[in-house]
């Protein structure tokens, strides 16, 4: 005949089962909190980046923006009447992508003046297609 477990064995087994269930639920809650925190951080990242950029501009510190491909809009407000492109603006655009420096070399002379043949690009996109 088979012996039935005594009350203490049943209590210990039930207690271990409950402890296991509590630990499992605690791990699930911890993961849910971590996921929520991560999602919240990702959701507000554009706002925090914009706030940082605004703060940097107000403090006069440069904001570095990188482009994934060469090209830019040739903003006419940075071109002097003699065709010279503002040095600081040109430098900032060049820092956005190495290919932008090559584009400037193509559309300007050695004095940094926009070549007459590219004046039609003022306030338009300058990229490999528009400079052909």
Is residue 30 located within the same domain as residue 55? yes
Q: Name the E strands within the chain.
A: 72-73, 125-126
Which tops the pLDDT comparison, 10 or 131?
131
DSSP helix/strand/coil, 69:
coil
Q: Is residue 1 part of a domain?
A: no
pLDDT tier for residue 25 given thresholds of 50, 70 and 90: confident
Least trusted range by pLDDT, from 1-5, 25-29, 57-61, 81-85? 1-5
- Over the stretch 36-67, which tens digit does the pLDDT of each residue have? 766 766 777 676 667 666 666 666 655 566 77
The pLDDT of residue 107 is above 60: yes
Whether residue 79 sits in one domain with residue 54: no
**Does one domain contain both 55 and 77?**
no
The number of folded domains in the chain is 2
**What pLDDT does residue 115 have?**
97
What distances in angstroms separate CA 70 from CA 65, 91, 100, 102, 123, one per listed residue? Answer: 13, 14, 5, 9, 16
pLDDT band of residue 105 (cuts 50, 70, 90) is very high
Whether 65 is covered by a domain: the verdict is no
Domain assignment present for 104: yes
Confidence of residue 28 (pLDDT cuts 50, 70, 90): confident
Is residue 94 in some structural domain?
Answer: yes
**34, 59, 84 — which closes off a domain?**
59
Residue span of the structural domain in which 12 resides: 7-59
pLDDT surpassing 80 at residue 97: yes
Residue 126 DSSP symbol:
E
Claim to verify: residue 17 and residue 44 sit in the same structural domain: yes
Residues 122 and 79 in one domain: yes
- Structure confidence at residue 4 (pLDDT): 60
Residue 116, pLDDT > 80, answer yes
- Is residue 76 over pLDDT 60? yes
Q: Are residues 42 and 78 in the same domain?
A: no
- Asked if residue 47 belongs to a domain, the reply is yes
Residues 54 and 93 in one domain: no
Q: Give yes or no: residues 80 and 122 share one domain.
A: yes
User: Are 11 and 53 within one domain?
Assistant: yes
């Amino acid at each position: 005949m088979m012996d039935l477990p005594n009350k203490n064995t049943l209590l210990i087994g039930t207690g271990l089962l409950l402890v296991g269930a509590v630990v499992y639920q605690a791990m699930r809650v911890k993961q849910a909190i971590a996921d929520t925190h991560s999602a919240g951080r990702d959701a507000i990242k554009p706002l925090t980046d914009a706030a940082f950029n605004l703060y940097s501009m107000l403090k006069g510190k440069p904001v570095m923006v990188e482009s994934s491909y060469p090209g830019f809009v040739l903003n006419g407000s940075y071109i002097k009447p003699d065709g010279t492109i503002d040095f600081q603006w040109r430098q900032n655009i060049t820092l956005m992508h190495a290919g932008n420096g090559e584009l400037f070399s193509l559309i300007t002379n050695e004095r940094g003046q926009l070549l007459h043949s590219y004046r039609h690009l003022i306030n338009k996109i300058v990229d490999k297609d528009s400079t052909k």
